[in-house]
């Protein structure tokens, strides 16, 4: 490893977005006098009569959840997007706006009120992936939908309003900012090299073996070279797969195992039910994208313990993201768990 990475302030380039992150490894030597509180223990009950996601319970809009046995999907009663909005376009001088339409859904991973992804059997995580595939395909073929974002907010610290393990799907007419950046960067590389950017990146990461967290036959998880969040992880397939609907059965099992291993390592890291936002970035659905290579990213806020969180403030709001602990050190901690 280049020794400068572990001692000298530097900036690292994100090949997927074209943006930089500032890394200040020398600062990890400064003394820490903050508190180290014990983690809040996670939920233990299987069914909570007051939870609007548990089976058989009534949601706020009066609908009753079915007595579901595995993964359960429903349209978000308070979705940020609506299917029917009045079309409009506003262009006045420098002011520009237009209507946005879409569909928001909630995916309960299992009927068990306390069973998070790391607690689930690999076969049960495969069921969750099957639901993601179905939603991506179904929503993606809707002519009014051009992008399908699958994500999870886990933990109250991430603003998650209900402890019942669940994820969301926001499918919409326009393509979101982050996806536009990643589409452009992957296309540029593909056009220049006739190869997926992330196929080449995976090869380099496996060869260097400095940031790999866990590898199985068809997938690998790494702390990306350009990671912003202290324990950020990216799970990606070794071959180019544009979207999750194109996974073979063997790849689906490997992907489920990656999710299980990464989230289990997270829970072990600070001995808590580890909070994060995770999301799947994959090809938009308006046309074919030959350069896209799907990947799942985890952005966890925790820095030093179950209660010490990284804040994106000050310089990071006005300049660019900054981190102290290097991606290499974070990967080593996760790998060894
Ligand atoms: Zn529940």
* 151-161 pLDDT tens trace: 999 998 888 87
- pLDDT exceeds cutoff 60 at 8: yes
Tokens of 27: 């600062």
pLDDT value at residue 7: 87
Instruction: Please tell me the distance from the alpha carbon of residue 206 to that of residue 215, in angstroms, as a whole number.
Output: 9
C-alpha gyration radius of the chain:
20
CA of 55 to the centre of ligand 1 (A): 7
**Spatial contact of 167 and 151, defined as CB atoms under 8 Å apart:** yes
Residue 298 phi/psi, 5-degree rounding, is: -115, 125
Q: Percent of the chain at pLDDT above 90?
A: 82
- What's residue 75's pLDDT? 93
Which tokens is 257 given? 């195992």
Cα of 12 vs centre of ligand 1, distance in Å, is 41
- Sheet of 72-75, strands arranged across: 72-75, 102-108, 166-172, 147-154, 276-281, 295-299, 233-237, 219-222, 212-215
Q: What is the pLDDT of residue 37?
A: 47
Among 113, 147, 164, 166, which one carries the catalytic annotation?
166
Cα–Cα distance, 86 to 70 (Å, whole number): 37
Percent of the chain scoring above 70 in pLDDT = 95
By the 10 Å C-beta count (0-12 exposed, 13-18 middle, 19+ buried), 243 is classed as: buried
Is residue 102 scored above 60 in pLDDT? yes
- Determine the pLDDT at residue 40: 53
More confident residue, 77 or 194: 194
Q: Is the pLDDT of residue 6 over 70?
A: yes
Going by pLDDT thresholds of 50, 70 and 90, the confidence category of residue 121 is very high
In 3D space, the residue among 294, 279, 281 whose CA is nearest the CA of residue 196 turns out to be 294
Of the ranges 191-200, 252-261, 306-315, which one carries the lowest mean pLDDT score? 306-315
Q: What value does the mean pLDDT take over residues 11-28?
A: 93
How far does residue 11's CA lie from ligand 1's centre (Å)?
A: 43
Q: How is residue 73 written in tokens?
A: 């999907």
Active site (annotated) includes residue 166: yes
Contact between 311 and 190 under an 8 Å Cβ cutoff? The reply is: no
Angstrom distances, CA of residue 81 to CA of 4, 139, 282: 46, 14, 20
Residue 264 Cα to ligand 1 midpoint, Å, equals 21
* Helical residues (DSSP H) of 142-244, grouped into ranges: 177-193, 197-208
Q: In this structure, are strands 20-23 and 322-323 parallel, antiparallel, or unpaired?
A: parallel
Residue 252 CA to ligand 1 center (angstroms) comes to 27
pTM more than 0.85: yes
Closest CA to 120 of 272, 327, 262: 262
Write the burial class of residue 127 (CB in 10 Å: 0-12 exposed, 13-18 middle, 19+ buried).
Answer: middle
CA of 160 to the centre of ligand 1 (A): 13
Q: Is the pLDDT of residue 142 over 50?
A: yes
């Amino acid at each position: 490893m280049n020794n400068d990475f572990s001692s000298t302030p530097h900036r690292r380039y994100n090949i997927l977005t074209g943006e930089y992150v500032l890394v200040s490894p020398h600062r990890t030597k400064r003394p820490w006098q903050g508190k180290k509180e014990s983690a809040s223990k996670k939920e233990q009950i299987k069914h909570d009569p007051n939870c609007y996601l548990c089976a058989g319970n009534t949601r706020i809009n009066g609908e009753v959840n079915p007595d579901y046995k595995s993964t359960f999907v429903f349209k978000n009663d308070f979705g940020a997007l609506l299917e029917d909005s009045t079309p409009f376009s506003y262009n006045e001088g420098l002011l520009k706006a237009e209507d946005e339409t879409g569909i928001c859904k909630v995916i309960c991973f299992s009927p068990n009120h306390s069973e998070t992804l790391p607690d689930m059997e690999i076969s049960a995580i495969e069921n969750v992936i099957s639901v993601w595939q179905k939603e991506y395909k179904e929503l993606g073929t809707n002519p009014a939908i051009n992008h399908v974002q699958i994500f999870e907010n886990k933990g109250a610290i991430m603003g998650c309003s209900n402890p019942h393990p669940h994820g969301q799907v926001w499918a919409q007419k326009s393509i979101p900012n982050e996806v536009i950046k990643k589409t452009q960067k992957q296309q540029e590389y593909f056009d220049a090299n006739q190869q997926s950017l992330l196929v080449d990146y995976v090869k380099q990461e496996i060869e260097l073996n400095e940031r790999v967290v866990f590898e199985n036959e068809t997938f690998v998880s790494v702390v990306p070279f350009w990671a912003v969040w202290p324990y950020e992880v990216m799970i990606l397939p070794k071959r180019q797969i544009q979207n999750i609907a194109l996974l073979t059965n063997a790849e689906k099992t490997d992907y489920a195992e990656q999710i299980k291993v990464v989230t289990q390592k997270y829970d072990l890291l600070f001995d808590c039910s580890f909070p994060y936002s995770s999301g799947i970035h994959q090809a938009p659905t308006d046309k074919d994208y030959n350069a896209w290579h799907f990947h799942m990213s985890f952005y966890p806020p925790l820095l030093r313990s179950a209660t010490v969180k990284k804040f994106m403030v000050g310089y990071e709001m006005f300049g660019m993201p900054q981190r102290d602990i290097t991606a290499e050190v974070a990967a080593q901690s996760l790998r060894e768990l």
